[in-house]
Chains A and B, each alone.
Chain A
Amino acid sequence: EIVLTQSPGTLSLSPGERATLSCRASQSVSSSYLAWYQQKPGQAPRLLMYGASSRATGISDRFSGSGSGTDFSLTISRLEPEDFAVYYCQQYASSPRTFGQGTRLEIK
């Protein structure tokens, strides 16, 4: 099974700043089948990015994804108050699909 390790565990930033979240896989994720989800308290996860760098429908262009192989990242260019949440990466290339442990983005 592919293990995904996200870093940092918690990221403290202010609105307007840039956030960079990392997701490292224990083995190569084929076809860049790597997604990012945002989850707010009491809510279901929401798909942000898929294919490592494609934005899901309705997602702001402040969100961007990059990477391939074993190293992936999610960047939020200018943080808005509604961006503070927990972010998960997920690989859907190899069964079982697996999630990272999450990065909590909190207001500094």
Chain B
Amino acid sequence: EVQLVESGGGLVQPGGSLRLSCAASAFTFRNYAMSWVRQAPGKGLEWVSAISKGLSTYYADSVKGRFTISRDNSKNTLYLQMSSLRAEDTAVYYCAKPETTETTGGGMGSPFDSWGQGTLVTVSS
């Protein structure tokens, strides 16, 4: 069974930095584009960032220039380096896997069939 396990969340002050990790198992990680999706408390889902198999990266306008997505295929792990954090970045961050390996533009063309349990990031002084 596919498993995605996020870690690295916590309380950080505005302007601070945090790195999230997502450990993947039970599928061939290197063959899939991967994404981060977040959900602010009591709010809906927002796609944040994606990275393709070929390491091309994609970002929502709301995080562009502040967040960096990366992956280590030798460790089957996805990362999200977050800097210049703002109160509005407070959310549960999920990593998500597309249903198929045949995607474009960082996972487009496929829904997410597997999600992690999420890790909470709280930006507050």
Contacts and interface: CB of A to CB of B under 8 A. Distances in A.
User: Do these two chains interact?
Assistant: yes
Interface of A: 31, 33, 35, 37, 43-47, 50, 56-57, 88, 90, 92-102
Given A33-B111, A37-B45, A90-B112, 16 more contacts: A31-B109, A43-B117, A44-B116, A46-B115, A50-B99, A56-B111, A90-B45, A92-B108, A95-B58, A95-B105, A95-B106, A96-B58, A99-B47, A100-B44, A101-B44, A102-B45
A47 B111 contact: yes
A8 B60 CA distance: 27
Contact of B45 (A31, A47, A88): A88
A96 B106 CA distance: 10
A44 B109 contact: no
A47 B112 contact: yes
Contact of A88 (B44, B109, B113): B44
* Interface range, B side: 20 to 34
B110 interface: yes
A50 B58 CA distance: 22
Interface of B: 44-47, 58, 60, 94, 99, 105-113, 115-118
B44 A99 contact: yes
A48 B118 CA distance: 19
A44 B115 contact: yes
Which 6 pairs show the lowest CB-CB distances between chains A and B?
Answer: A35-B111, A44-B115, A50-B111, A99-B45, A101-B44, A102-B44
Given A44-B117, A44-B118, A56-B113, A97 B108 contact: yes
Contacts of A100: 44
A64 B57 CA distance: 34
Contacts of A102: 44-45
A15 B118 CA distance: 30
A103 to B, nearest CB: 10
B34 to A, nearest CB: 13
Contacts of A93: 108-109
